[in-house]
Homo-oligomer: A and B are copies of this chain.
């Protein structure tokens, strides 16, 4: 391996001068030129471990996935958020380190991140349990979709999303509206359910107990289960607001299997706007999360933290807006 010693010798300067030249500090033009020549000739590449050791700065950001589907990076929502995150931090020359899960033990994961010396951590997880405890955080951290008031968390405006959904149903003449909730230990699940009940109240509608069913962790299996419970009711709803697209798609599917028409008999609105949503039949009307923006916002907040820029000024921007994507899964009642 070629080091700064080789460069120093080859260029006729000391390693101190070489280091300075390499880091754009003050050196003579002549020195800079000769050193750069040597760098080219010897194909010198700096060693990041040595640099990290000396500067205590790794230029790496640790990524922690916590999802219950077991699909990790391939998660339809998370992957897009992370891509948005990555695109932004790349601009500042950070690389992303995806660490192994350590058997799901978050505390171990954090230790590992500490071991790696990452400059920051982004945590994106659907479930609320077994989290890294706040106290231990010596490393700047940003969360996606997690309940906390401190700056350092980014999430969609779930309440607005629920209101958008309910209002859209109401505008189309629906009153018998059900909600398939996300698991009620997850932040998103809780907030969307809360928002649903609030929006219903605003519309002067009552939400019946049997119209509130739990779909679990946003999987198709969970959505199917939940929908079956709804379909088994004597008095079925005419509209179902589902806390996640995957669940919504499964719900539509089982509804059709039961011989009912979608959306004529039962209308659906999902949440997320994952890519599949536009391809199912009927195309799913849904609340779109701006995944790119969520990722980018998280990146901005984290970078601010890393650079000790007070992020409180950004605190009100941590919630990113959602939008209603109208497609074909909502029927207008006569």
| A interface residues (Cβ-Cβ under 8 A, vs B) | 45-50, 52-53, 58, 60, 71-74, 76, 79-80, 82-83, 86-87, 89-90, 93-101, 111, 114-117, 249, 275-276, 279-281
Contact = CB atoms under 8 A, between A and B. Distances in A.
Pick the most buried of A47, A60, A74, A94: most chain B CB atoms within 10 A of its CB: A74
B97 A60 contact: yes
A4 to B, nearest CB: 13
Contacts of A60: 97
A98 B97 CA distance: 6
A181 to B, nearest CB: 23
Contacts of A94: 100
26 contacts: A45-B115, A47-B53, A48-B115, A49-B52, A49-B53, A53-B53, A71-B83, A72-B83, A72-B87, A73-B73, A73-B82, A74-B80, A76-B275, A79-B79, A86-B98, A94-B100, A95-B98, A95-B99, A95-B116, A96-B98, A98-B98, A276-B276, A276-B279, A279-B281, A280-B281, A281-B281
Nearest to A98: B96
Contacts of A111: 45
A97 B98 CA distance: 6
Contacts of A58: 49
A79 B87 contact: no
